């Protein structure tokens, strides 16, 4: 049985980790870390865990936690994991960090976009970007995982086959993305109040959202060259979900069958990426509460462009589910253990 510790267990991603791991046959949570709720019963913070979790919240002492668990999930704001991790801890325990601390390989880029000093740059090169569909073998051998961001996961998986096969001009990519309010976390913010979000949709982080360099870096690895994109996220009045609609110029004329064969080449054997039938557009309601990503495409011969689409749950495949998927690989388990729940509807 894998003993699990969670730092940030009372945030949205942390709460989702608890929900998923309670149904995991090979894992047991032994440390519910939450700086804000120390000594309070976890189920008093999340009432849905009443009579399911009897534990009290503990602090975020990573050094003490590393003595008691096999893996630590850090579902925390940027900067915390990097400020806590050290060689002694990494020699004892595996870490799956849900923040951006180790996602971007250039520390200067990280510090520019996130506006903070990186406290552990010595581990950036070692950290494995935990997108299992792309880095599966590296994940299996890792002791430090940089769990990908929600927007980057959906954007990358929607676009990846076309970039990898060189069928699109990578520097013409425009990504229009929409997310529910849980993507902003559980902290109190005026912009996330019901009266601010309800009956409204807005763009934010225009030409400067901090997930931009992460998407560019990962697409650049696939393309074998530097990639520049336009990425514009939008906040929509729903709790969960991400919808990505991406546009790019084709390098040559292609048929539906040719592009479908490319998507199938990369995703036919993947458990959690579902390539939809022709002309079926991804929708957030068909992936809610699940670890699935639904993707599809539409060729526009009039403009010689392709529209690539993806939908997923930002808290599951975009955060906690992907983290559990990484844990499964790191400990030699079935990659889908604890994650094969069907999407919720309605």
Q: What is the band of 137 on the pLDDT scale with cuts at 50, 70, 90?
A: very high
% pLDDT > 90, the chain: 98
What does DSSP assign to residue 343? Answer: P
Q: What's the distance, CA 77 to chain centroid? A: 14
Both structure tokens of 165: 């096969």
What's the pTM? 0.97
Coil, helix or strand at residue 219: helix
Write the secondary structure of 176-207 as one string of H (helix), E (strand) and C (coil).
EEEECHHHHCCCCCHHHCHHHHCCCCEECCCC
pLDDT at 332: 98
Which residues are designated catalytic?
A: 150
**For the segment 35-93, what is each residue's pLDDT rounded down to a tens digit?**
999 999 999 999 999 999 999 999 999 999 999 999 999 999 999 999 999 999 999 99
115: left (phi over 0), alpha (psi -120 to 50) or beta: left
Average pLDDT, integer, range 113-138: 98
Sheet containing 174-179: give its strands across.
Answer: 202-203, 230-235, 174-179, 242-249, 305-312, 293-300, 273-275
What does DSSP assign to residue 60? Answer: -
Task: Check if the beta carbon of residue 127 is closer than 8 Å to that of residue 146.
Answer: yes
What would you report as the CA-atom Rg of the chain, rounded to the nearest whole angstrom? 20
Q: Which CATH superfamily is domain 151-314 in?
A: Dihydrodipicolinate Reductase; domain 2 (3.30.360.10)
CA distance 192 to 183: 10
CA distance 24 to 339: 8
CB atoms < 10 A from the CB of 187, how many? 10
State the average pLDDT for the chain.
97
Pairing relation of β-strands 230-235 and 202-203?
antiparallel
Q: Give 130 or 191, the one with higher predicted confidence.
A: 130
What does DSSP assign to residue 35? Answer: G
Instruction: State the DSSP string of 312-327.
Output: E-TTIIIIIHHHHHHH
Average pLDDT, integer, range 190-218: 96
Nearest to 159 by CA among 224, 229, 246: 246
Cite the residue boundaries of each domain of the chain with CATH code 3.40.50.720.
2-126
Q: What residue has token string 């961001």?
A: 149
Coil, helix or strand at residue 48: helix
Whether the pLDDT of residue 188 is over 90: the answer is no
pLDDT at 187: 85
CATH number of 2-126: 3.40.50.720
% pLDDT > 70, the chain: 100
- When mean pLDDT is compared across 182-186, 220-224, 327-331, the lowest value belongs to 182-186
CA distance 99 to 75: 7
pLDDT at 159: 98
Task: Check if the beta carbon of residue 156 is closer than 8 Å to that of residue 196.
Answer: no
Nearest to 227 by CA among 155, 176, 170, 151: 170
Cite the residue boundaries of each domain of the chain with CATH code 3.30.360.10.
151-314
């Amino acid at each position: 049985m894998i003993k699990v510790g969670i730092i940030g267990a009372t945030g949205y991603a942390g709460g989702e980790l608890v929900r998923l791991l309670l149904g995991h046959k090979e894992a047991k949570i032994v440390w519910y870390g939450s700086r804000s709720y120390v000594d309070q019963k976890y189920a008093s913070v999340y009432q849905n865990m009443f009579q399911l979790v009897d534990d009290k919240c503990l602090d975020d002492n990573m050094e003490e936690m590393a003595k008691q668990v096999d893996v630590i999930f850090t579902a925390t704001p940027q900067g915390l994991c990097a400020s806590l991790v050290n060689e002694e801890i990494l020699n004892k325990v595996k870490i799956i960090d849900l923040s951006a601390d180790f996602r971007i390989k250039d520390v200067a880029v990280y510090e520019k976009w996130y506006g903070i000093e990186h406290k552990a740059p010595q581990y950036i090169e070692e950290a494995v970007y935990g997108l299992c569909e792309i880095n599966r073998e590296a994940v299996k051998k890792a002791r430090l995982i940089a769990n990908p961001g929600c927007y980057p996961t959906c954007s990358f998986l929607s676009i990846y086959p076309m970039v990898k096969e060189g069928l699109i001009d990578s520097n013409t990519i425009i990504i229009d993305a929409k997310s529910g309010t849980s993507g902003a976390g559980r902290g109190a913010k005026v912009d996330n109040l019901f009266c601010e979000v309800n009956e409204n949709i807005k763009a934010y982080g225009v030409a400067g959202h901090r997930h931009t360099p992460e998407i560019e870096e990962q697409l650049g690895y696939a393309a074998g060259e530097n990639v520049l994109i336009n990425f514009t996220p939008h906040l929509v009045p729903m709790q969960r979900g991400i919808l990505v609609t991406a546009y790019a110029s084709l390098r040559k004329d292609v048929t539906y069958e040719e592009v479908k064969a490319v998507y199938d080449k990369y995703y036919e054997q993947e458990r959690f990426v579902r390539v939809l039938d022709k002309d079926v557009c991804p929708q957030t309601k068909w992936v809610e509460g699940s670890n699935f990503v639904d993707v599809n495409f539409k060729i526009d011969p009039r403009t010689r462009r392709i529209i690539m689409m993806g939908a997923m749950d930002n808290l599951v495949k975009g955060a906690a589910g992907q983290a559990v998927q990484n844990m499964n690989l790191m400990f030699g388990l079935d990659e889908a253990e604890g994650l094969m729940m069907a999407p919720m509807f309605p």
